[in-house]
Structure 1
Amino acid sequence: MKNNQIENVDYEIQRCQNKLVRIKKMIPLGILIGIVFSLLFPYLPGRRGRRPMIETWEYQNAVIFSAIIFIVAYLIGYLFKKDKLEKKIRELKLKRHLIEKNGE
């Protein structure tokens, strides 16, 4: 019973660690998406038929603004997801320690 619980917790820890590695590997894809987003966003019309950003701003300023918005949003999302996974790993390690301690 105790070994089965420890194996389940170890499996969950391994899954979370694999997710951490995966989100780190996704950074180059995020950069590529950010570049494409920054180049295309100024041409997209706004909500409720608003004019595209390119009609009111210079293209280079619109691209820089779009890039900054994307970078901030991506960093917040990345750090939130990374922190959540690290917290879950710590909780699972504590759970494994408590199972081992109670089994003694």
Structure 2
Amino acid sequence: MKIRIFGREPALALNTLSAILGLLVTFNVGLTEAQAGWIVAGTSAFLGAIAAALTRPIAVQAFTTLVATLASGVAAFGYDVAPTTTAAINGALLAVIMFITRGQVSPKEVDA
């Protein structure tokens, strides 16, 4: 039996959730650029780690998580950009990398 989240593969569901949460940070909720950057990068790293644990091979999802988290961190802390730009970079990278790696990951098998 394969692990599913909302009837979908874990990598797809968790990376989509990460992108959505990153987007929510941008809706003028009173956060500074640094706070928004930490939230986007932290959410990407946390949910990506969970997705890596629930998919096989782990390396593909771990790479996706690493790239998205680093890109968010560089955007938030390496350059003076708005939180919307940080979230856009994170969401775009997650979408592109999920599209590229989609055929290379599958849900982890569990005993029923």
Q: TM-score, normalization: structure 2?
A: 0.30
Whose Rg is larger? 1
Which of structures 1 and 2 has the larger relative contact order (alpha carbons within 8 angstroms, sep 6+)? 1
More helix by share: 1
